[in-house]
Amino acid sequence: VRAELALLKDQAAVTIDGCCVELAANIGGPRDIAPALANGAEAIGLYRTEFLFMDHEAAPTEEEQYQAYKAALEGMQGRAVVIRTLDVGGDKQIAYLDMPKEDNPFLGWRAVRMCLDRPELFKVQLRALWRAGCHGNLKVMFPMVSNLAEVKQAKHLLFQAREELLAEDRPVARKLQIGIMIELPAAALIVDQLASEVDFFSIGSNDLIQYTVGVDRMNENIAHLYQPLHPGVLRLIAMVIDAAHRQDKSVGMCGEMAGDLTCIPLLLGLGLDEFSMSAGSIPQAKKLIQSLSATECSKVAAKCLAAGEADEVRKQLAVLA
Ligand code: PEP
Ligand code: MG
């Protein structure tokens, strides 16, 4: 089986009827690049930069960040690397950031919300990204966006960082693709409005599910209610993909759902362009995709969207297995 999976490494993820999707890896830092490539990752769909901040006594400097991002880009040899800006808060507390204690941290001051309130912290990262962008195909992605103003503000700071670097005669990337994560139902519902501001979307299904069904993703008492296949979740995903495609913007997914063999045929049928997962899941995902018909998957996906509950969705999907 190992040999078979190794053979898959350099093959594309194409269905039997010729539909090609991108299989990417989620990473926590440059040391995860080698296993990603070994498993056949065509891109990095999510670089979680918070580890760079969590492993430190103080915020990493611009130079430290630049070196880490550059190493990841060089390792990927021109393939796309989606770098997510700092996503802390929620369950990820960082002592030196002096974060307030909140009653509902997952509904609180986290991710891009915090970064927009702390431009001096955020700008260091944005500057490092512009500089690193000279060394490969860097795409910036903002997490936990809930409205259009946040996207505009984040982009404003991003371009301000570029102007600062240019004024200092520092080399910067000519262009960076800009994307946002869709993790909140409110954002999913206004993708048609957000599309004009961004180049791409990536669905953060871990959070999108949690916020859609109102179930803490870590709470074991209600784990049975955390349902990726809840038709409400599926309808949101379908809306995101359709609205983005209408404006020629690509949609990926970088939550656990993207690497789940039960969900992949459904996501393929809904038209997802890119699947980003832990490196070890890529070979099996590719093998599955190569056995599927996209036409069949979209017919089944339509039935899943009309279902009343997750169990019914699961029954529809069993037809494809
Ligand atoms: C997600 O929410 O799906 C996601 C990829 O982000 P994280 O798991 O880091 O919150
Ligand atoms: Mg998330």
The whole-number pLDDT of residue 295 equals 98
Are the beta carbons of 26 and 46 closer than 8 angstroms?
A: yes
Cβ neighbours of residue 192 closer than 8 Å, sequence gap 6 or more: 243, 246, 247
Mean pLDDT, rounded, of the chain: 97
> Are 79 and 43 contacting, i.e. CB atoms less than 8 angstroms apart?
yes
Per-residue pLDDT, 7: 87
- pLDDT on residue 223: 96
pLDDT per position as a tens digit, 129-160: 999 999 999 999 999 999 999 999 999 999 99
Query: Ligand 1: which atom is nearest the Cα of residue 46?
Result: 5
pLDDT category, 88, cuts 50, 70, 90? very high
Do the interacting molecules here have an ipTM over 0.85?
A: yes
Q: Where are the alpha helices (DSSP H) in 39-169?
A: 50-54, 62-75, 111-117, 119-132, 148-167
Q: How far is residue 28's CA from residue 8's CA, in Å, rounded to a whole number?
A: 24
Q: Which atom of ligand 1 is nearest to the CA of 48?
A: 9
Give the single-character DSSP code of 277. Answer: E
Q: Ligand 1: distance of its center to the CA of 181 in Å?
A: 9
The CA distance from 129 to 143, in Å, is 15
53 confidence band (pLDDT: 50, 70, 90): very high
Task: Report whether pLDDT(87) > 90.
Answer: yes
Query: What DSSP element (H or E) covers 180?
Result: strand 177-182
Close Cβ partners of 224 (under 8 Å, ≥ 6 residues apart): none
Q: How confident is the model at residue 90 (pLDDT cuts 50, 70, 90)?
A: confident
CA 200 to centroid of chain Cα atoms: 10
Instruction: Compute, in angstroms, the gap from residue 288 CA to the centroid of ligand 1.
Output: 23
Contacts (Cβ under 8 Å, ≥6 apart) of 209: 215, 217, 226, 227, 228, 230, 233, 255, 257
Closest residue by Cα to atom 9, ligand 1, is 48
Residues 298-317: what's their mean pLDDT?
Answer: 98
The conformation of residue 252, written as its DSSP 8-state character, comes to E
Index of the ligand 1 atom closest to the CA of residue 202: 5
Segment 273-280 shows an average pLDDT of: 98
| For ligand 1, mutation pick of 27, 44, 48, 212 (most atoms within 8 Å of CB) | 48
Record the pTM: 0.97
To test the ligand 1 pocket, which listed residue (52, 54, 112, 183) has its Cβ within 8 A of the most ligand atoms?
A: 183
Residues within 5 Å of ion ligand 2, judged at the Cβ atom: 183, 204, 207
H-type helices in the chain, by residue range? Answer: 2-8, 33-38, 50-54, 62-75, 111-117, 119-132, 148-167, 185-189, 191-194, 205-213, 231-246, 264-270, 282-291, 294-305, 310-318
Distances (CA, A) of 3 to 8, 39, 94, 259, 283: 9, 12, 43, 21, 11
